[in-house]
Amino acid sequence: MQFVEAFRQFQFKVGRDNFCLVHVSLVVETNGGQQKTKPTQQNIRELRALGLAPDFIACRSKNPVSDSVRSKISLFCHVPEQNVINVYDVSNLYRVPILLQDMIKSIKVQLNIKTRGRSRLMRKWHDLAETYDRILEPVNICLVGKYTKLDDAYKSVINALEHASLFVNHKLQLSLVESEDLEEEVQNSDPTRFHAAWHSLCSAKGVIVPGGFGHRGTVGKMMAIKWCREKKIPMLAVCLGFQLAVIEYARNVVGLTDAKSGESPEISNNVVVIDMPEHNQGQLGGTMLLGSRSFNFNQECKLKELYGNKDVAKERHRHRYEVNLIMSQDLRRRE
């Protein structure tokens, strides 16, 4: 409970006018739809015993808390009724800031925070939330990864796909495919899982092959990359996925059957992906190149078009490897 004591002392250090405490409490709802306030009352009682008194109570609930329940919480928790805030489940994440607008305004008044009007921003945000609910046109994207059984493994990638889909007015339908399920070994050991994985891949309008570590599942990723290239399905390869895309092209198009990455321990004369000059080979842990990095477009391509037909662009970078510049000349010449 050290953090509670830290908050208790902090309110005296900064002064009551510079301190605002928002207590979030779950309002339990029975199967019959009755909302219970006793857990919230008990929470507030224990919090006051520790020396903290909430200025606002955010009532988390599945459905909006009724006025009578809010009034009861206000009465027994010694908080003004207007400071008992409804925070119920909404149809999409973008509606949450809209739901909290009244509480944000009250906090600004209490802390005497003066900000410029942001009505235009909130109108755009409201339009965004409305658009999300109205979108009906689906887009089926397949993510071929190594850690699809872990919910948060590709959280940032999935969020990026959701934002991109919303930007083009489409509703994302995402299929997560374990790359190992695409390999021939699974076809022999578990045909049902194998065919289900390939069905998800073949049904997609676009494919993304994200990063990862180690050799496991790389064969399946390369099979997915090859299928996309041959069937001309839009495919985005990131980090290890991009390494494998370069290797697949070098092996099956250029004819360098022993093409490999410098990250792999295998010995080959055709290393198409190498350590970046800024990276100390063999050292791991805090050695990735971070931050902005410039890259040049040497020819017309879809990627250049996406960056506004600029000759030079900058992007956030977090890697240890890059395409071997010497080999890249051969790759371009033999396309």
Chain centroid, CA 181 distance in Å: 24
Q: How many CB atoms lie within 10 A of CB 160?
A: 14
According to DSSP, the residues that pair with 274 across neighbouring strands are 322
Output phi, psi for 22, to 5 deg: -110, 120
Number of H helices, E strands in the chain: 13, 14
Q: Tokens 């903290």 map to which residue?
A: 52
Q: How many CB atoms lie within 10 A of CB 32?
A: 5
Q: Which of 59, 202, 228, 239 is catalytic?
A: 239
Nearest 10 degrees: Cα torsion 178, 179, 182, 183: -130
Of 221, 219, 205, give the one whose Cα is nearest residue 144: 221
Long-range own/partner contacts, residues 295-302 (CB < 8 A, 24 or more apart): 298/332, 299/332
Sorted by sequence, the CB contacts under 8 Å of residue 328 that are 6+ apart come out as: none
Nearest 10 degrees: Cα torsion 192, 196, 198, 204: 170
239 is catalytic: yes
Catalytic positions, please? 239
